[in-house]
Amino acid sequence: MNKKIAAQRLPAEMRFAAELDALAQADSGLRPAGWRLSPRAARTFILGSGAAQAGGMRITRKIHGNDALVERAIVTLAGQRGLMLAGEPGTAKSLLSELLAAAISGNTTISVQGGAGVVEEQIRYGWNYALLLRDGPGNASLVPGPLHRAMQLGLLLRFEEITRCATEVQDCLVPVLSERLLQIPELKEEQPYLLAQPGFNVIATANLRDRGVNEMSAALKRRFNFETMQPLDSIATQITLIGDEVRRELAAADIGVAVPPDVLTLLASAFHELRAGAVEGIAIERPGTVLSTAQAISVVCDAASQCWYFGETTLRPAHVARYLLGTVIQDDQEDRRRFSEYLRIVAKKRNLRPDWMDFVAGAREE
């Protein structure tokens, strides 16, 4: 039996190790060079096996919606173009990036988190300055960055929130994606470049809310295939996703609070109405905050944790309402007004439904 690893969150290749091993053993499909799984098995890992079994194990669905996009993303990574996953916050861009890296490379940890302070050396390579001063530039004194390691090992590089980086920093990827070669001019007496090994490619993510912060150059855009992640429109699908993820997270934290299906339905409906700006045909102002499924999962998990640690065994609508306030309102007083108006309309329209009245009462306690 494998020893349980103590960690707040395990990388996908460790979290789903049993599924990846079962798929690898049963995988008879053609695999691109350097891939752990065939494209067909990678798709099954992400979208699930349904009632079918892979190596004696049912593979769980990890991404809901965007099925055709997942297939196109896998095909893109099998070629010589990078993959750009764009979308609104909370559309599972980072999750899909992680799952693709786990299925294809078996390693999700070679990554860059974009930000204003990121410089090229943090992406490509740096130097051990003690060895550099003693011996001069060489492979012994070179400190590989994520890009160098991904190319050297033939793995996928995950570049999160790439448009948060300055344009000139982003463009360090242009020659790599074009020539599959990283120039290291300091290595004058050794090979002054690194060739990408089979399996190397780049998955980048970009938040559409950041459009205009640091525009990507036309040269870099040409080297990516763009896929836009769409939010889930179906409330039923959102309920399924929220329920699956909540159960997984609560089990990992050993929290034994019951989460009734009615509470999940109510929360998913509230998120849907606030995003849509309508309650049973009555128009309302939408909050300025982007309300994602990931935030809904966080609301339920936080509320369940409160119940667990403060002596309650069953989650109620009032519990999730209290944590929804911090998600919807945050620091925007206009959103506080909009949410109060939403509660007023809900109380008027659903005053005979105990679950919704409990929800309204919980929100108004704050």
Q: Do 19 and 110 sit in the same domain of this protein?
A: yes
- DSSP classification of residue 214: S
Residue 112's pLDDT is: 97
Cβ within 8 Å of residue 4, ≥6 positions away:
none
Q: Tens digits of per-residue pLDDT, 173-191?
A: 999 999 999 999 999 778 8
Among 196, 229, 262, the domain-final residue is 229
Q: Do 177 and 270 sit in the same domain of this protein?
A: no
- Reading the block at residue 73, the tokens are 């993303």
Residue 3's pLDDT is: 61
Q: Do 177 and 240 sit in the same domain of this protein?
A: no
In whole angstroms, give the CA distance from residue 305 to residue 70. 33
In whole angstroms, give the CA distance from residue 337 to residue 333. 7
Asked if residue 20 is part of any domain, the answer here is: yes
Q: Do 23 and 100 sit in the same domain of this protein?
A: yes
Which range marks the domain in which residue 348 is found? 235-364
Low pLDDT (below 70) residues in the chain:
1-4, 55, 211-212, 366
Q: Characterize the bridge pairing of strands 193-195 and 181-183.
A: antiparallel
Q: Do 222 and 274 sit in the same domain of this protein?
A: no
Q: Do 66 and 117 sit in the same domain of this protein?
A: yes
Among 229, 249, 275, the domain-final residue is 229
CB atoms near residue 297 (< 10 Å) = 21
Number of domains comprising the chain? 2
Asked if residue 144 is part of any domain, the answer here is: yes
Q: Characterize the bridge pairing of strands 224-229 and 201-207.
A: unpaired
Q: What does the DSSP assignment read for 135-174?
A: H-SSTTTEEE-HHHHHHHHT-EEEEETGGGS-HHHHGGGH
Q: Tens digits of per-residue pLDDT, 228-262?
A: 998 887 888 889 889 988 998 998 889 999 999 99
- Reading the block at residue 80, the tokens are 């010589």
Q: Do 199 and 256 sit in the same domain of this protein?
A: no
Residue 123's pLDDT is: 97
What values do phi and psi take at 263, rounded to 5? Answer: -70, -40
Q: Do 288 and 154 sit in the same domain of this protein?
A: no
Element (H, E) at 232: none
Q: Do 288 and 200 sit in the same domain of this protein?
A: no
In whole angstroms, give the CA distance from residue 132 to residue 141. 6
Q: Do 305 and 207 sit in the same domain of this protein?
A: no
Asked if residue 337 is part of any domain, the answer here is: yes
